[in-house]
Amino acid sequence: METLSENACFGGKQGVYRHTSAACNCDMTFGLFLPAEAQDGPVPVLWYLSGLTCTHENAMTKAGAQAWAAEQGIALIFPDTSPRGEGVADDEAYDLGQGAGFYVNATQEPWAPHFNMWDYIAEELPALITENFPIDPDRQSITGHSMGGHGALTLAMNLPGRYRSVSAFAPISNPTGADWGRKQLSAYLGDDEANWAKHDASLLMRDVGFQGPVLIDTGASDQFIDLLRPEELSQAIAQKRQQAVVRLQPGYDHSYFFVSTFMEDHVTFHAEHLWA
């Protein structure tokens, strides 16, 4: 693992690191914020999964999460959204290929050799981080924005017991029923829609739900709200009688101005359950 940068940040340290990924068959980069408490021993961790076109850097520099994480004494992990580099398949469209991994394990060509973001986020990167940094693997929560909100919700419901809480900012809530989802799931997983279900938060919520608390914020003025389909997830939560807070925020769009506005709420929400 290579250290690309380390900077003092709110009494802790914001680092950026690169390593060779076996899951993605290329070099991958991630950001990790450690609060001051990490100097004394392992700390809880909140995963932040970013959205379409993002790298590890977008939320790390725009979301304002470190201030609130430092206040709560928890670490933050900012993974990349896809494999990258020479020889990694890509597409001219912004919503497929590099920057658009969708947090799945691709089975179709040309994506299968590298696009294994599910295994990367669920298995490889957690093992790497707990081996090299003072992170408590028994105290993990997860959040994300847009495509990353989709990833956070689907990982949380597919990995029972892994995360103490889950939240999402403007998640792609029903990808099997929207253009943000059907295009990517077909490309990465093939045309058999039975293989898509484990990657749809609304379907998973109706089927299995989540064993802990859920918080979801979406901007009521989000320019992509018809692609996000928040109403499908809300209905599934009601049908499942899932413990959840679901909010539509008047006037807010899909940008990091929206994410940063409500970041304190989300970090505080997770800290309550990470330190319980």
Of 56, 254, 266, 270, which residue is the catalytic one? 254
In the structure, what pLDDT confidence band is assigned to residue 92 with cuts at 50, 70 and 90?
A: very high
Is residue 254 part of the annotated active site? The answer reads yes
The DSSP bridge partners found for residue 31 are 16, 78
pLDDT tens column, 53-71: 999 999 999 999 999 999 9
Q: Given the residues 21, 141, 146, 173, select the one marked as catalytic.
A: 146
What's the pLDDT score for residue 229? 98
Q: Determine the structural domain holding residue 188 and report its residue range.
A: 2-274
Full-model pTM? 0.97
- Give pLDDT, residue 188: 98
Total number of domains constituting the chain: 1
- Whether 150 is catalytic is no
Residue 87: both structure tokens together:
């020889």
Reported as a pLDDT band with limits 50, 70 and 90, residue 167 is: very high
CATH number at 70 reads 3.40.50.1820
Residue 218 DSSP class: E
Write down the catalytic residue from 222, 234, 266, 270: 222
Helices (H), the chain: 57-62, 65-72, 117-119, 125-132, 147-158, 179-189, 201-207, 225-228, 230-240, 256-274
pLDDT digits (tens, 9 = 90+) for 106-165: 999 999 999 999 999 999 999 999 999 999 999 999 999 999 999 999 999 999 999 999
Amino acid at 154: T
Q: Are 219 and 170 in contact (CB under 8 A)?
A: yes
Contact criterion met (CB below 8 Å) for 152 and 144:
yes
Backbone angles phi, psi at 126, to 5 degrees: -60, -40
Whether residue 234 lies in the annotated active site? no
